[in-house]
Structure formats: C-alpha cells, structure tokens
Amino acid sequence: MQPFVFERVDSPAAAVRAAAGARSGSATQNPVQYLAGGTTLLDLMKLDVMRPQGVVDINALDVTPLGRIEATRAGMRLGALVRMADAADNPSIRRDCPMIAQSLKLAASQQIRNMASLGGNVLQRTRCPYFRDVSYSECNKRNPGSGCAAMNGFNRDHAVLGASPQCIATYPGDFAQALMALDATVQTIGPDGGRALRFAGLHRPPGDTPDVETALRAGEMIASFEVALAPWMRRSLYLKIRDRESYEFALASAGVALDLRDGRVADARIALGGIATVPWRARAAEDALRGQAVGDAAFEEAADRAFAEARAATHNAFKVPLGKQTLIRALRDAAALEI
C-alpha cells in the first residue's frame, strides 16, 4: 500500500474542501478518495489498484441527513452514509418497495452490510480479476491505453450488454439495479454547491474511456438518493442468481416492479444486474409488457427484447439464456405476489 494523507471531517463543506484537487470521473486515478465503510476502498488500496494520495473519512457525517432514511412527499430519501444493513431492515422500505430491501439483503455478507454504506455501494468497482490484479499490465480501466486482458482471457463473469472494444467488465452491485428501475435521483454536494442528477446518468458505459466510470465532478460527494414511490411498487422484488447462495456477486439478477390492472400490465419497471457494464434498465422489455395480458407469453417476449442486443465473449454466452430465465422468473414471482 502507498503512503497517503488521512483526514477526518465533521461537515459536508469540510469534506468537499478536503477533497479539492480530485479529478472527476477517473475513479482509479483520483488523488483523493472519500472513506465510508472502506469495504471496497481499503481492499483496492491494499491490492495497489487504487493509490490515492489522500483519504477523507466522512463517517462523522452520519449524524447529518447523510446518515438518515427520511420519508418525503413523493417517496423516500436514503442518505449516502446509511449502512446497507439498516436500509435492508427498514420496515417502510421492506413494505413500500421490497425490491430495494431485497437488493441490499442479497448483497455481500451481514458483516459487510453492517459496515458498508449506500453511497460506497453504488460506487464500488468491478470484480474483473484482471483489474484487481496489478501483475496484469493490460487493463484499460486501471491503466488507460494498455489493452484488455479479459477480451482474450477468462471472461465467464463479464458483460454481455453495454461492453465496448476497450472493456467488457461487469458492474457488480445489486442496490444500483433497484435505483435504476425506480428512476431514482442522486443528490450531491460539490465545490460548486449541490446538484441533483438522474441515477441513470451516474454510471458511464465504458466506451473509449473505461477508467472514467461516473459523471461525478472533481471532489463531488454523494449526499443521498431520492426515490419516488407509487402504491403498486409494493409488487416488486429482486431476484439474484449466483454461483453459491452465501455471499457472492450476481451472475444474473432482475429487479422488477409491476402495476397490474384487470389481468394486464399497466406499467413495469425492470433493471438487470450481473450481465452489463453499468446498472442496466431494460426499457425495451418494459415497453413490450405494457398493455399485455399477464402470463408467460408476455414475460418471454419481454425477456427476448431485453437481450436482443446481447453480445457474448468466449466464456459468457450462458449469461444470455440465464439472464432471460432470471427475468421471466422474476416477472412470474412478482405477478403472483399478494399486495
């Protein structure tokens, strides 16, 4: 691990001041990193993948709105420093939008969920083994312009949607799929004040610059996530398929919410995980479902639409049928829920 300057701050303004000098977007190279639970950042610093010159501990801000879950007129606001375990167990979240609670409960282990924050969770880095092992020099995400070892290497866990010739790494998180499906908004605090951005615009597809992972500006901190909720979102769930039931990342996952009226789909929200380079909204599948009679014919058509653009590498073609089956099962299970 490289030496770094450690600073604890007690206000959002002090945090942003301390992080001044960070470069926007390029998560690997940012010279200053915020420290929340540390369950991603410290791992990657020990592996020498992330080498910040400064680490700004924001945990003391959990007495501010950053550490709270609050009801709003439209839905709820989730502070970026709320721990995953607390949000997963929150009775309002579990009742009003089970998809959010389940995406958190099925992520990582209880010990990690006790430490890890919502903000850190959405900003976690890929688990691509070539990214996490600095003995591989070829990784455009870690070492821009160096190539991609996964393209011709072992790519079973990699993405079939949203990839570019520069990077096929999968976005690993679960909670982000719920935020994506629910059209969440991200509130941030930065050197120029606060702003709100659509969660759908937070993560950037790899394109030609896989090292630039988000739309966050230099020194910008996530303060909270806002989710507008409708009563029908009680009919929602998160289904996660993984190699083992105990803590493991998704091979394929689906967050779905269904508005059913008179046996037909009035509205649908769908996001997919484990199969794409960024949190993935399946809008073509949603469009295919609207107005259709509830049943397997509509669910199978939606799944085909969701993966119509999928492109497999050498070892991950299985993710296309697996992703479709995951979505079909999630839709069946959501339709059967009694709310």
- Confirm or reject binding of residue 214 to ligand SF4 (CB under 6 A): no
Q: State the minimum distance, in angstroms, from the CB of residue 157 to ligand SF4.
A: 10
**Which class for 193: exposed (0-12), middle (13-18), buried (19 or more C-beta within 10 A)?**
exposed
Cβ neighbours of residue 80 closer than 8 Å, sequence gap 6 or more: 36, 66, 117, 118, 119, 221, 222, 223, 224, 225
* Exposure of 35 in the CB half-sphere (CA atoms within 13 A): 22
Q: Which is nearer to ligand SF4, 81 or 167 (CB)?
A: 167
Binds ligand SF4 by CB under 6 A, chosen from 15, 58, 119, 131: 131
Q: Are 223 and 79 spatial neighbours (Cβ–Cβ below 8 Å)? A: yes
Written as one letter, the residue type at 51 is R
- Confirm or reject binding of residue 28 to ligand SF4 (CB under 6 A): no
Q: Are 236 and 256 spatial neighbours (Cβ–Cβ below 8 Å)? A: yes
Distance CA 284, CA 268 (A): 11
Distance CA 45, CA 38 (A): 10
What track of x and - describes contact with ligand SF4 for positions 240 through 269 (by CB under 6 A)?
Answer: ------------------------------
Written as one letter, the residue type at 285 is A
Tokens of 143: 């070492």
Q: Which residues of 232-244 are buried (b: 16+ CB within 10 A; e: fewer)?
A: bbbbbbbbbbeee
CA distances from 122 to 103, 118, 174 (A): 12, 6, 8
- Confirm or reject binding of residue 171 to ligand FAD (CB under 6 A): no
Q: State the minimum distance, in angstroms, from the CB of residue 30 to ligand SF4.
A: 17
Binds ligand SF4 by CB under 6 A, chosen from 139, 176, 239, 328: 139
CB under 6 A: which stretch of 110-118, 155-163, 230-238, 299-307 binds ligand FAD? 110-118
Choose the contact partner of 247 out of ligand SF4, ligand FAD, none; CB within 5 to 8 A by kind: ligand FAD
Rg (CA), the chain: 19
Q: Which is nearer to ligand SF4, 163 or 180 (CB)?
A: 163
Q: Which is nearer to ligand SF4, 130 or 238 (CB)?
A: 130
Q: State the minimum distance, in angstroms, from the CB of residue 40 to ligand FAD.
A: 4
- Confirm or reject binding of residue 202 to ligand FAD (CB under 6 A): no
- Confirm or reject binding of residue 140 to ligand SF4 (CB under 6 A): yes
Q: State the minimum distance, in angstroms, from the CB of residue 208 to ligand SF4.
A: 12
- Confirm or reject binding of residue 149 to ligand SF4 (CB under 6 A): yes
- Confirm or reject binding of residue 19 to ligand FAD (CB under 6 A): no
Choose the contact partner of 39 out of ligand FAD, ligand SF4, none; CB within 5 to 8 A by kind: ligand FAD
Tokens of 120: 């850190």
What track of x and - describes contact with ligand SF4 for positions 164 through 203 (by CB under 6 A)?
Answer: ---xxx----------------------------------
Q: How far is CA 107 from the centre of its chain?
A: 11
SS3 289: helix
Q: How far is CA 36 from the centre of its chain?
A: 16
Choose the contact partner of 108 out of ligand SF4, ligand FAD, none; CB within 5 to 8 A by kind: ligand FAD
Residues that bind ligand FAD (CB under 6 A): 33-41, 80, 84, 107-108, 112, 115-117, 119-121, 123-124, 173-175, 221-222, 247, 249
